[in-house]
A and B are shown apart, each in its own frame.
Chain A
Amino acid sequence: MRYALSRKMPTARQWLAGLCLFVTAWLYGVAVQAADILLTGAEESPGVQSFVQALSELRPTDRVHFQPLASLPAPGKLPSSLRLILLDLPSLDWRMQDSQGPATLVLRISRLQARQRFGTTQPSHLSLLWSDPPLSRQLQLIRRILPQAQRVGVLFDQHSEFLLKELQSAANPLNLHIVPQRWDNTHDNRPLQTVLKNSDVLLGLDDPDLYNPRTAKNLLLSSYARQLALVGPNVSFVRAGSLASTYSDQSDWLTVLDELLDHPPTAWPRSLYPGRFKVSSNAQVARSLGIEPMNEASVAAELAEGERHP
């Protein structure tokens, strides 16, 4: 039937419609290709430079450039055709002065930081790209590398408490049981001991009040003393002694950004977890806990496959 239809000669009306579509698409394409992408942050560190460089190489037709925050006017004074990418929290604060201004992607912001800044409402003119690994992905990682674990201990404080509900709902379909434990004073080890006693694995939330260089030693030594693995919260912790974590590095983010920038800003999501990620694990810790050495790439591939076809 379709075949027969396509064999018909198109009418003039159809020709016109087709032409319009093509021109629109071409114009759009030109507009996108010619996009002016401005990245900003408080300072231009070597890391920032290499990222800007990599992004400009990825989008040769766009004008990708960095301007330090101090040199920028108020956001509303910037041309609206600009694509603005914020690289740190000071630049976010600057952007929040003005609800007007160019379409904005916010990088390197965690759920916790957004919550502290915006409360429960998210600003409509920003696209927040989350830096912390998605909870469901971390739980999937636990399921994959510690299939026998059922009770997932989670330490939280007043800042990270809001994540628990989401965590619970992500855990339910995986038959994981979340064991939440408030830890307001990190000098007091009792809550940590309690959660370790009642859990099969500890999942670290990206909450710098709880997981920081001051607490790392205590957290890792205490959980290891009970032969319990810590999963997450980030790749630095894996290097320090956490068993594993998912994470997205610069190359992942470049791919994600590249895809977003291909779309008109109106199509940008209000918030997004990167679809591109890797898995990092600590082989020595795994060995000491009697866990098979894992192939990080294939675990990441399995998790990604699971996310595409849940």
Chain B
Amino acid sequence: MFSGTPSSRSSLLLALLFSPMLLADDLFLDSEALPRILTATRLKQSPAEIPGSMTVLDSELINASGARDISELLRLVPGMMVGNISGNQSVVNYHGTNASEARRMQVLIDGRSVYRAGLATVDWSDIPVAMEDIERIEVFRGPNTVSYGANALMAVVNIITRNPADSHGTRLKITRGQRGINDFYASQGTGWSGGDLRLSLSGQEDDGFDSDRTGADYRDSRRLNRFSLAVSQMLSDNQSVDWQLNAKDGTNQRPYTYRPVFSGITAAGNNSDVVAKDYAGSVRWNLDINPDHSLYVQGSAQHWDRQQTWRACDAEVSFSPQLTQLWQLNPNYTEQLARNITRFIGPGAAPGTPTEMALANQVLDQWRNGASRTLCGDIDQSARESRYDLELQDTLSLSDSLRLVSGLNYRYDRADSETYFNGTLDDTTWRAFGQLEWRAGEHWLLQGGAMFENTQLIGSSLTPRFAVNYLINPRHSLRAVYSEAIRSPDMFENNVNWSYQVTNLRPSAYGQTSARYFVKTRGPGDLDQEHMRSRELGYNGFFPEWGLALDVKLFYDEITGMISEPLRNNQFIASNANDSRFRGTETQLDWRLSAIDRLRLTYAFVDAEASNPLDQQFTARNSGSAGWLRDWGQGWNSALFYYGDNALNGYRFERVDTRIAKNIPLGKAQLQLAAVLQQRLDHEPTTFVDNNYDERRVMYFSAELEF
């Protein structure tokens, strides 16, 4: 029986080759036809084989964190900078760059990219996915346009929702707490022969931050409701279809931030709240051609609707045709005139070209003749963006040691905004990608690929990626990665055509109730892609005897041709003139000390240098997290987390979160009661000066019934 012990590899190979025959002939081996299910195309790489750095936030961690927002969860990812523009606007960027915009990360929900079509930002709070529906989050730390497509410049956040088949039964959850926290979640899952479904409804409410820099109440609360339906259906032994529908509707408060350009204006609006609606639908068809060859086709449609209409007040002269004309000739000159108009009343227009001076004097005349009076009108800064995406991905296992993933992607983006684009703007992107994975022997794994992308507005580009993993054994590896990535400027940066048509003017401006505000900004229209070159050395290891998983990396990333001008409507002139570089090290450690204890640590040291100081703001030189999860038995669980950034946009951030939960069986049902306490350890605002809480501590409680 044991005679002849060929090497395990060849015997395995033989077994794989001949096992169907053996099964058919051998009376004692189960003759029941069972297809190969975990095939070469379905199996993923082990952590040691991944051609880069990956952080996986599993459901245990997500649950234990007590987080109410996806962005908050990302604090558990080393090198991830998480902050807030306001209570309902999170800002997340890997390694940093600008604190008020995060445009360089790819964010996917079940393979559907959710950064906005026109503005390329991610509205974290508006993503139509409830935390309770998330199974895990995989964060690829580093550029990877080859695998994840455009915008995957600095990192990729891949949110994977719970399989409908794993969501059977009913879940009801409510959360109540301080700071107006009031959330709910309800889901129903059911299955039938070959199919499963999950329907969930959820809602979220809170007051955001308490006070701005002046101590006044900060208008940044949010209220939202979500709907989500996910269905998976087997069509045959080798085909299945998954489809989803998601919708989100809600209100995000925004403070009134308009500052009158002209002096002497005291009237003001009281808010610039946004009604934010997100809709998404996707269908994915999976086909296993054979155990070594599979493909999927995924189509998705998304729509972002941001309705933002607010009342603003300024002097009548803001609508002067002459001032508008002057702005188009010389924005600097015009801004000087507008901001200091009272100083020019006596002496007349400042020196300039004769045309400029003539126009300026006409404006001054208007001012003297009563155009200094206050006018209020409605500003509509709404935007509607849509995306249609079709992707084909093919996975082919050419041999036991060679695997090819390739595909094609077509995307159509459209943005519609009177204010930003003076109408509608659209863009079409084609993408082809391929990645080859080659096991060159027992210890070497080589992976390389490239992506070709062509966008109608920007042009085409080719980005390569190479990684070498040296597997000391299947659980420990060293890796070296070189990758290039690009980010095409978004429609806003390149093609903005920003002006305000103000309506319902009272009193009327120059006899009109609707008039165009004098400031108009146009994008350059000829921007190039940003380029990223990233180099990484890393180690990944798992010590099963201790239950310890460790990943360490050193990185050096450079972005050139960087578009770093802030998105503001006074003289926003985007260019590719900037660059920045990030270097440092990151570590993550996940240690299951025993069956009941889990310890998790992350740390990142990031040294950022940027030609534009704004791009250095959002980098904490030292940041990290520490977590301890324990199962105390008798249904009691606890989790303790520490999060720290030494300075994010100049402000320190340190917080300790505690969650204590008790599971109570109620017959066939299960009740979970949980309390979360978050305690800030520092006394600083969060990311921006207006983000202040009255108390450094917040508590909220949840009750969840599952049956």
Contact = CB atoms under 8 A, between A and B. Distances in A.
Interface of A: 46-48, 50-51, 87, 107-108, 131, 147-148, 150-151, 187-190, 193, 212-213, 216-218, 220-222, 224-225, 234-237, 239-241, 247-253, 255, 276, 278, 280-298, 300-301, 304
B514 interface: no
B196 to A, nearest CB: 8
> For chain A, what secondary structure do more than half of its interface residues adopt (helix, strand, loop), or is it mixed?
helix
Given A278-B1, A296-B8, A298-B5, A131 B38 contact: no
Contacts of A234: 29-30
Report, nearest first, the 9 A-B pairs whose CB atoms are least far apart.
A241-B38, A290-B46, A288-B43, A295-B8, A283-B12, A148-B544, A236-B30, A47-B27, A236-B34
B34 A295 contact: no
Nearest to A88: B27
B31 A295 contact: no
A280 B22 CA distance: 12
B191 A188 contact: yes
Contact of B38 (A224, A235, A280, A300): A224
A51 B37 CA distance: 30
A280 B15 contact: yes
Nearest to B547: A148
Interface string B33-63: 1111111101111111000000000000000
Nearest to A251: B1
Contact of A297 (B5, B36, B42, B168): B5
Contact of B474 (A213, A237, A292, A301): A292
A253 B12 contact: no
Contacts of A297: 2, 4-5, 11
Contacts of B46: 287-290
A85 to B, nearest CB: 12
Given A249-B29, A276-B1, A284 B43 contact: yes
B1 A220 contact: no
A249 B26 contact: yes
B169 interface: yes
Given A107-B28, A213-B33, A252-B28, 5 more contacts: A190-B169, A218-B165, A285-B43, A288-B44, A300-B1
B25 interface: yes
A236 B32 contact: yes
A84 B211 CA distance: 90
A292 B29 CA distance: 26
Nearest to A222: B166
Contacts of A294: 8
A283 B439 CA distance: 14
Contacts of B35: 213, 216, 240
Nearest to A196: B166
B23 interface: yes
A193 B166 contact: yes
Contacts of B400: 284
Contacts, number: 160
B32 to A, nearest CB: 6
A225 to B, nearest CB: 7
Interface in B540-560: 542, 544-545, 547
Interface of B: 1-2, 4-5, 7-9, 11-12, 15-16, 19-20, 22-40, 42-48, 135, 163, 165-166, 168-169, 191-193, 196, 400, 473-475, 542, 544-545, 547, 595
26 contacts: A50-B25, A87-B27, A131-B28, A147-B545, A150-B595, A193-B166, A213-B33, A213-B34, A216-B35, A224-B43, A235-B30, A237-B34, A240-B34, A250-B26, A255-B1, A283-B9, A284-B38, A284-B43, A288-B45, A292-B475, A293-B8, A293-B9, A295-B11, A297-B5, A301-B2, A304-B2
A305 B400 CA distance: 32
Contacts of A252: 1, 28
A217 B8 CA distance: 27
Nearest to B160: A225
A189 to B, nearest CB: 5
A48 B32 CA distance: 16
A131 B28 CA distance: 8
A234 B32 CA distance: 11
Nearest to A241: B38
A188 B168 contact: yes
A45 B163 CA distance: 42
A213 B32 contact: yes
B36 A239 contact: yes
B474 A287 contact: yes
Contact of A151 (B24, B169, B595): B595
Contacts of A280: 15
A171 to B, nearest CB: 15
B191 A187 contact: yes
Given A47-B27, A188-B168, A236-B29, A300 B2 contact: yes
B47 A220 contact: no
Nearest to B594: A150
Given A253-B28, A287-B46, A216 B163 contact: no
Contacts of A251: 1
